[in-house]
Copies of this chain bind each other. A is one copy, B any other.
Amino acid sequence: MRIGELAERAGTSTRTLRYYESRGLLPARRADNGYRTYDEDDLRLLSQIRVLQDFGFELEETRPFVDCLRAGHPAGDSCPASLAVYRRKLAELDGLIGQLADVRDQLGRQLADAERAAGEAAVPKCEMTG
CB-based contact B86/A118 at 8 Å = no
Interface residue? A12 (CB, 8 A): no
CB-based contact A56/B114 at 8 Å = no
Considering only CB atoms and an 8 Å cut-off, how many residues of chain A contact the other chain?
A: 29
A29 to chain B, nearest CB (A): 30
In angstroms, Cα B115 to Cα A118, docked, is 54
Closest to A54 in B: B103
Tallying the copies of this chain within the complex gives 2
| Residue interface bits A89-130, CB-to-B below 8 A is 1, else 0 | 110011011001101101110110011011000000000000
CB-based contact B103/A93 at 8 Å = yes
A115 to chain B, nearest CB (A): 7
Which A residues fall within an 8 A CB radius of B? Answer: 55-56, 75, 77-78, 80, 82-83, 86-87, 89-90, 93-94, 96-97, 100-101, 103-104, 106-108, 110-111, 114-115, 117-118
> Can you list 12 A-B contacts (CB < 8 A)?
A55-B106, A55-B107, A75-B114, A77-B110, A78-B114, A82-B114, A83-B118, A86-B114, A87-B111, A93-B104, A93-B107, A94-B104
